[in-house]
Amino acid sequence: MTDVVRLDNVTKRFGRQTALRRVSFAVPEGAVFALLGENGAGKTTAIRILLGLADADEGKTEVLALPSATAGTEIRRRVGYVPEESDLYDWMRVDEIGWFAAGFYPEGYFDRYQKLIDAFHVPRDRKISALSKGMRAKVRLAIALGHDPELLILDEPTSGLDAIVRREFLESMVDRAATGRTVLLSSHQIHEVERVADHVAIIREGELIAVERLDAMKEDTRRLTLTVKDLTTPLPEFSGRVLRMVERGRQVDVVIRGMSDAEVAVLAEHPVVEAVEQHPVSLEEIFVAYMQRNGTGSPAGKRAESVTAPVAEPQGGTP
């Protein structure tokens, strides 16, 4: 399978701020790839660089085997893009804006656009200024899908929309993935990402701190609640990578990666450990754990520093 999108050591600076720092990942064909990160982490910048809307200071990017720096327009012709901050022309009608966009894409755009609009139950002859927020978002999606692109890029598509519209977006994304097309999604809605994504990349302050398959990530991560017998004995070494550790009295809550069941059993037999409970871990908890990795919440001086901030090891996204 080929990579639809490749970023290689991309760095982007805005004045003194570094928006992206040596970011590399690849999106395989047919995947639903999610970019997670806080506001201002660099997700939108990465997407813009991919589409040739901005230039990377270092590194190179490729979309559909075309270099972004030189073939931006061609890329945008073959890719569907729903940008984060894009208002539509208020004075146009729904069908007019479809006709307008149809001029930039190959034949068949307008018919597909109309079908999508009808499927979304958006009235064709209404002015965009008279549409609700959800309908406008659907129009934006229809514009991006009119030419049946191999890659659909969505930047915060459902922020501020109601549950029903969000559901419709998810269904669209899923539908495209089911037909073998690729979706690159940048979102805050972690619950949605959890449902539909099969690859996840977490960006924090311009750095890529995790990129892997979602199911592998979830299978590899556990949340354990340890009950310890006393507060003075140091904790055992964890055989795995601790993402986050929180202590409350005699209970230690830890999100940890790379620990096998056997190792958990071993941990349970440790003298200082009274009980071990295992909880399912959602993507949100993983994400929060990654974001908060520098702080540990341990009471000062009570524990030896067996808890260190592990270094990010981005893993390849190959299936």
> Which residues here bind other proteins, judged by CB under 8 A?
32, 51, 53-55, 73-77, 81-92, 99-105, 140, 143-144, 167, 170-171, 174-175, 177-179, 191-192, 194-198, 214-215, 218-219, 275, 279-280, 282-284
Least Cβ distance, residue 22 to other proteins (angstroms): 22
The phi, psi pair for 185, rounded to 5°, reads -125, 135
Residue number, 130 or 309, with CB nearest to other proteins: 130
Residue number, 276 or 312, with CB nearest to other proteins: 276
From the list 202, 209, 204, 198, the residue with the least C-alpha distance to 318 is 198
Least Cβ distance, residue 300 to other proteins (angstroms): 33
Residue number, 249 or 280, with CB nearest to other proteins: 280
Least Cβ distance, residue 20 to other proteins (angstroms): 16
Beta-bridged to residue 255, according to DSSP, are: 223, 244
Give the integer Cα–Cα distance in Å for 202 and 256. 17
Neighbours of 85 (CB within 10 A): 7
Residue number, 156 or 307, with CB nearest to other proteins: 156
From the list 223, 231, 237, 238, the residue with the least C-alpha distance to 285 is 223
Residue number, 23 or 75, with CB nearest to other proteins: 75
CA distances from 18 to 60, 107, 208, 231 (A): 16, 41, 13, 42
Least Cβ distance, residue 170 to other proteins (angstroms): 4
Residue number, 132 or 306, with CB nearest to other proteins: 132
Determine which helix (DSSP H) or strand (DSSP E) holds 212, and give its type and residue range.
strand 207-213
Give the integer Cα–Cα distance in Å for 79 and 84. 16
Least Cβ distance, residue 210 to other proteins (angstroms): 18
Asked if residue 272 lies in contact with residue 229, where contact means CB atoms within 8 angstroms, the answer is: yes
Least Cβ distance, residue 73 to other proteins (angstroms): 5
